[in-house]
Chains A and B, each alone.
Chain A
C-alpha cells in the first residue's frame, strides 16, 4: 500500500490530481454546475451589495409606498421590483439581504463544523467511556427538533441575528460529531494509522494530520447541506420575529413584515421568499454534485 508511507509532502503532490479528478466528476452533474454558477452569483452580489443596490436599503421614499414592479401598472424603473409598505426599494433590500444569508451560512457552518469535528475526533480516539458520554450528550441535543431548540435558545439569549446564528450552530453540531466519529472509527484500524502510531506519531498528530484528511469527504458534503439549512432556519427565526430585527433587510424578517400585505401587494411577499428558495436550491444542487463527486461508491456505477 502506498498510503503507509504517505507524508505531508506526498499529500501536497497528489492534490492537483485529486482536484482535477473531483472537477471531472462534479462537471458530469449538470444541475451541480448550474448550482455552482448561481452560488457564485450570490456571493458576488453579497460582496458588492452597496455597488449593485440602486438605493439605500433602509431609506424610506414616502411618496412611493407599495409601488408595484416596473412592468405592472403604476410601477417605475426607479424601483424595479417595487417598494414595500414604508416605501423602501425592494431590489436594494433583497441585494443587501444576500449579505446576511451568506454571513449566516458561513458562520454557522464554520462553528458547527469546527466544533463538531474536534468533538468527533476526541470521541473517536478517546477511551470508550468518554466516547459514550459524548455520544449520549449528542443524542440529548438531537432529541429536540432543531428549530424548536433554536427558538428556545434565542429566547434565553435574546432575539438578534447573532444569537440566532449561535443557536443554529449549536443545534447542527451533533451531526458533525456523529459523522466525524463514524469515519474516524472506520479509518482508525487501517494500516496507515497503525504505521503512523508505530513510528511514534503523537495523538494529536494522529488525529489531525493522519486521520482527519481522510474523513473529510462526508463532512464537506454535510457542510454544503447545512449551509442551505442554516439559511432556511435563520430566515424562519427571522420570520417568527426571533432572528434579525427590523429594519434589517434580512429575507425572513422582510417576509414577516410583508405578511399583512399579502392580499394587497404580492411583490412584497414573493421576492424575499424567491430569493431564499433560489439560494437554497442552488446550494442543494451543488451539494448533490459534491456528494456524487466525493463518494467513491457512486463513482464506479
Chain B
C-alpha cells in the first residue's frame, strides 16, 4: 500500500509542475504586449505601465520569471486582480463556497435519483421501466445544459412563477457570510424566510448542474449492477431464500458501487465545466462565473490564478479517488 501511495504521489508532482508551467505561459502567450492587451480601451499611464512590468516581472529573463512565479504559488501568492486589485487567492476562496454548495447539492441530487434508478432498471432489465429510464438517461446525457437551464426558467420562473431567476438569495435578507454556504448562513441568521429563499434560489441551478451526472450515474449503476447480478454469489444468495430487496439492495449494490464511486469522483472536472455555464446563466456568484467574467474583463492575472487553482483541485480530487480505489480494490495496487 505504501509503495502504491508513493508511486501515485510521484506522478502527482510532475503534473503539478506542468500545470504551473501552463498557467505561467498563459499571460506570456497572449498576442502583443500583455499589459496593453489587459488595459484594453481603458489605456494605461506610463508610470502604471512601469509599475506593472515590475509587478509581473516582465523585465526579468523568462526562467527567472518562472522561478519567481513558482515561489509565489507555493506560498499562496497568485498575484492580484487587474480590476479589483485584490489578491487572486482571496477572491478565489471567497467565491469557492458558492460553487462548492451548488456542486454538492447537484451531486446529492444526481446520486439520490441516479443510484436507485440504475438499480431498478438493472433488476427489471428489458422491461418497459428499464427502456424508458435508459432512453431518458441518454436524453439527459445529450442535453445542452445551457438550453436546459433556459427551458426551466421559461417554465418554472416565467409560466409558473415558482422560482427566482438569478442570485443566491433574495435581496430582502442580509446577514454576514460566516461559512460562505448560503443554506447554513441563512439558517444561522434566524431570519424567517431566509432559508426558504436560499432553497428556492438553489433549486433550478442544482437540477441543471445535476442533470448530466444524474444520467451518467444511472447508466453506470445499471451496467455495474447487470454485471454483478450474473455472479455466482448472487445466485447463492437467492438460493438461500433471501428477500429480493436484500439480494439486490445489499449484496449486489455493494459490489456494484466500486465503479460507480469512481465515476462520481472523476466527474468533478465535468461538474466544474458545467458550473461555468450554470453559474453564468443563473448569475450564481461562484468561481465559474468569476472565470468567465474575468476572461471578458481581460483580468488575466485572475484567469491565470483561477486556472491553476481549479486544475490543482481537480488533480487532488482525482488523486484521492485513485488512492481510495486502491484501498477498496487491492488488485489495482499491484499494477
Contacts and interface: CB of A to CB of B under 8 A. Distances in A.
B315 interface: yes
Given A137-B18, A232-B144, A146 B273 contact: yes
A180 interface: no
Given A139-B15, A143-B15, A255-B150, A277 B142 contact: yes
A30 to B, nearest CB: 10
Interface in B136-183: 138-139, 141-144, 146-148, 150-151, 153-154, 157-158
A148 B142 contact: no
A280 B144 contact: yes
Contacts of B147: 255, 269, 272-274, 276-277
Given A145-B314, A148-B291, A152-B307, A240 B150 contact: no
Nearest to B26: A152
Number of chain A interface residues as a range? 35 or more
A270 B148 CA distance: 10
A269 B153 CA distance: 11
Contact of A139 (B11, B30, B142, B303): B11
Number of chain B interface residues as a range? 35 or more
Nearest to A143: B311
A156 B158 contact: no
Nearest to B230: A301
Given A136-B11, A139-B18, A240-B292, A148 B307 contact: yes
Given A143-B315, A156-B30, A240 B19 contact: no
Interface stretch (A10-18, A76-84, A198-206, A281-289): A281-289
A232 B291 CA distance: 20
Contacts of B318: 143
Contact of A269 (B150, B277, B310, B312): B150
B292 A151 contact: yes
A255 B151 CA distance: 11
Interface in A257-277: 259, 262-263, 266, 269-270, 272-274, 276-277
A12 B310 CA distance: 49
A115 interface: no
Given A137-B18, A139-B18, A262 B307 contact: no
Interface in B180-194: none
Identify whether the interface residues of A are mostly helix, strand, loop, or mixed. Answer: helix
Contacts of A151: 276, 291-292, 295
A174 to B, nearest CB: 12
A262 B150 contact: yes
A208 interface: no
B269 interface: yes
B314 A143 contact: yes
Contacts of A137: 18
A270 B139 CA distance: 16
B29 interface: yes
A136 B17 CA distance: 10
A140 B22 contact: yes
B276 A147 contact: yes
Contacts of A281: 138-139, 142
A228 interface: yes
Q: 10 smallest A-B Cβ distances: which pairs?
A: A273-B147, A140-B18, A147-B273, A145-B273, A280-B142, A281-B142, A143-B311, A263-B158, A145-B272, A145-B269
Interface of A: 31, 136-137, 139-140, 142-148, 151-152, 155-156, 158, 228, 232, 235-236, 239-242, 252, 255, 259, 262-263, 266, 269-270, 272-274, 276-277, 280-281, 284-285, 288
24 contacts: A31-B135, A136-B18, A139-B11, A142-B269, A143-B312, A144-B19, A144-B310, A144-B314, A145-B276, A148-B276, A151-B276, A156-B26, A228-B142, A235-B144, A236-B146, A240-B277, A255-B150, A263-B157, A269-B147, A272-B147, A276-B147, A277-B139, A277-B143, A288-B138
Interface of B: 11, 14-15, 18-19, 22, 26, 29-31, 135, 138-139, 141-144, 146-148, 150-151, 153-154, 157-158, 269-270, 272-273, 276-277, 280, 291-292, 295-296, 303, 307, 310-312, 314-315, 318
